[in-house]
Structure 1
Amino acid sequence: MRTRCGPPSRAGCLTCRDDRFRHWDNEWLIGEGRALDPARWFVIVPNMLGNGLSSSPSNTPAPDSGPSFPPIRVTDNVEAQHRLVTEVFGLERLALVLGWSMGAGQTYQWAVSHPEMVERMLPFCGSPRTAPHNRVFLDSLRAALTASAGFDGGRYGVPPDRGLRAFARIYAGWGFSQAFYWDECWRELGYTSLEDFVVGFWEGFFLDGRDPNNLLTMLDTWWHGDVGATPGFDSTEQALASIRARAIVMPAEKDLYFPPEDEAWAVSHMGGGAELRVIPGVWGHFAGGGAPGRAPDNADTTFIDAAAAELLAGPSGI
């Protein structure tokens, strides 16, 4: 059922946030003329627990603030979102759930935890289970931040800039592909040199008000991501097989976190209603992330938007 952004009807579109981004970073995906047009759909963009806007180490009162903030799992995010869409908005169905990166993980979780609600799903550049190689990357981030001068077990007075800069430098080698750097695609974002890009894009990103305890909370959520841990299931494969939503799963061709073969494995366990559709190009993980400074009508955005439009125009999976 289509609905405007007035009083919500019985269906809506939910776009799940990634760990490091806030709700306004979804603007590249939503708007007039796009599949997620607010004039046609009731679009909901929840912030992830731990991102500094939802409940987080940085904004929770003592004694649960800072490093004492409780661990958060993907299921916690989805259950909070479920309460939002059912108890606050009164929705009975979600016409489409989609998301990038950890938002894709939440998309899978929604389809597993609430199969009676999710009609269609579009996870892009993300996975239903965090792979071992991905965990190695996350462990390196944790080590860089917690070993920083001034971190003090998470009880810092001023965020430790050295650790945040190291954190950003590690991310710089993973967020974009080798081909992105070889082709100097950072120039498309307005940078004049590789160092200018690493400092301006990556260090600037993590030094722009990102709280280290928030980052560690979300990192831990990512590390433990696995729909197979959902109560009632014995394995990731079993959880994936339970999905009823019509699905287009969209890994990026050169994503170092979530390579296409990982998502091909996921689709192989989702039954006949799921399709693998690889986002072509060299932008790596940021093929699905609306990289700040990139032209809004780029090929990746158009590719993802076309899939969302196709799903919304087609039949429901339930």
Structure 2
Amino acid sequence: MDYEIFDLGDVTLQSGVTLPSAYLAYKTYGRLNEKKDNVIVYPTAFGDQHVQNEWLIGVGKSLDPQKYFIIVPNLLGNGLSSSPSNTPPPFDRANFPQVTIYDNVKFQHRLVTEKFGIQKIALVVGWSMGGIQSFQWGASYPDMVERIAPFAGVAKTWPHTYVVLDGMKAALMAAVRFDSSQLHQLTSADMRTVGRVYGGWGLSQAFYREELYRGLGFDSLADFMAGVWEDSFIQMDPHNVLAMLWTGQHADISANPSYNGDFGKALRSIKAHACIMPGSTDLFCSADDNEYEANLIPHAVFNPIRSIWGHFAGRGINRADNQFIDDNLKRLLALPTNG
């Protein structure tokens, strides 16, 4: 096991449901300095675990473990933190309660403060649903978070984003003929269809037209669809995926008692320096949505990743995109704080 567990105990979720013996799986890189002010929080995205975040961590990179103490908390529902696949009855599999982005960040805050005694965070950074969490950190704890850097992630699930996630959910529901009482019958094999649904959204039209999958070692589109989309999704537990889809579909940094649905107020309340990096060809976390959000954040820079890799411009695969993200994070970390 290359990660640690933080026991949360019995937690009451935003839904009002109490999840017993909940826990966060997390991994740290580097050392916490004496002042405890070299902290970077880097939450995971939908379907990812901490290992998938490691491409951005390393000596000489923006997330340099020789300079920073980097905490990667795993999303609830991802199979490592409390999830449908690892929670005993009565909250196992399809019975797992609904967990929000707000819940996730609240529990991460407990990890950071209770486990490590941290009061200031230099940066919260994340891709996709990790990006939503970085926005949530900035809105929930504006006096604690000095910088945020969401890439290919929006501050709420806009209607089109919701529809894309709903298509993925529908692929699983169709496997049990839309009978929610039969959800326990779902297996990983049913995830093949979800992967194929997502394949049209994760990358741009130009990526496919220019056959960039050949550079990844695939000789044909059919091989790429099977070798990437099917294979990566078939490794995921379908109940975990349904839980994370619910979290994603209902993400909104203002959907909590602090802001009562006032999205503009939530964005304006973020005090952190923000570097917002959408993929310029992202089909479902669109640059337009991010630009709207950036315009409401007092100290935000809007800096799209000019790339035909779509949503996956932030996935750590394409070298030019990786360099762009890393360079921007270095610039952001060099900025003086707002006090």
Do Structure 1 and Structure 2 share a fold, with TM-score over 0.5? yes
* Aligned residue in 1 for 2:265: 238
| Conserved 8 A contact 1:138-1:223 | yes
Query: Paired residue for 1:119?
Result: 146
Q: CA deviation at 1:154?
A: 2.2
Q: 1:284 — aligned with what?
A: 310
More strand by share: 2
Which residue among 217, 225, 239 is the counterpart of 1:213? Answer: 239
Residue in 2 that maps onto 1:265 = 292
Q: What is the alpha-carbon distance in structure 2 between the residues aligned to residue 129 and residue 221 of structure 1?
A: 11
Partners of 2:161 and 2:95 in 1: how far apart? 25
Runs of at least 5 residues in structure 2 that lack an aligned partner in the other structure: 1-28
1:110-189 alignment, distance < 5 Å: 110-149=137-176, 153-156=182-185, 159=187, 161=189, 163-189=190-216
Q: Percent identity between the aligned chains?
A: 45
Shift of 1:139: 1.2
Q: Equivalent of 2:48, from 14, 17, 21?
A: 21
Q: State the 1:141 CA deviation.
A: 1.1
| C-alpha contact (below 8 Å) 2:176/2:183 kept by paired residues | no
Out of 51, 75, 85, the residue aligned to residue 78 of structure 2 is 51
Alpha-carbon RMSD across the aligned residues, in angstroms, is 1.6
What SS does the corresponding residue of 1:54 show, helix, strand or coil? coil
Mapped pair 1:306 → 2:308:
no
Q: Are 1:146 and 1:153, in contact at CA under 8 Å, matched by a contact in 2? A: no
Q: 1:130-167 deviations in whole A, cap 9, x for unaligned?
A: 011111111111111022159963212x6151x31110
**1:256 corresponding residue in structure 2:** 283
User: Which blocks of at least 5 consecutive residues in structure 1 are unaligned?
Assistant: none
CA offset digits 1:47-84 (Å, max 9, x no partner): 00000000000000111101111100001110110011
Structure 2: distance between partners of 1:68 and 1:196: 36
TM norm structure 2: 0.87
After TM superposition, the structure 1 = structure 2 runs for residues 194-205 of structure 1, keeping only pairs within 5 Å, are 194-205=221-232
Question: How many angstroms apart in 2 are the aligned matches of 1:112 and 1:205?
Answer: 33
Structure 2 distance, partners of 1:74, 1:58, is 19
Q: Report 1:2-21 matches (<5 A).
A: 5-9=30-34, 10-11=36-37, 12-21=39-48
Query: Tell me, what secondary structure is at the counterpart of 1:229?
Result: coil
Return the alpha-carbon distance in structure 1 between the equivalents of residues 251 and 176 of structure 2: 29
Q: 2:64 matched to which residue of 1?
A: 37
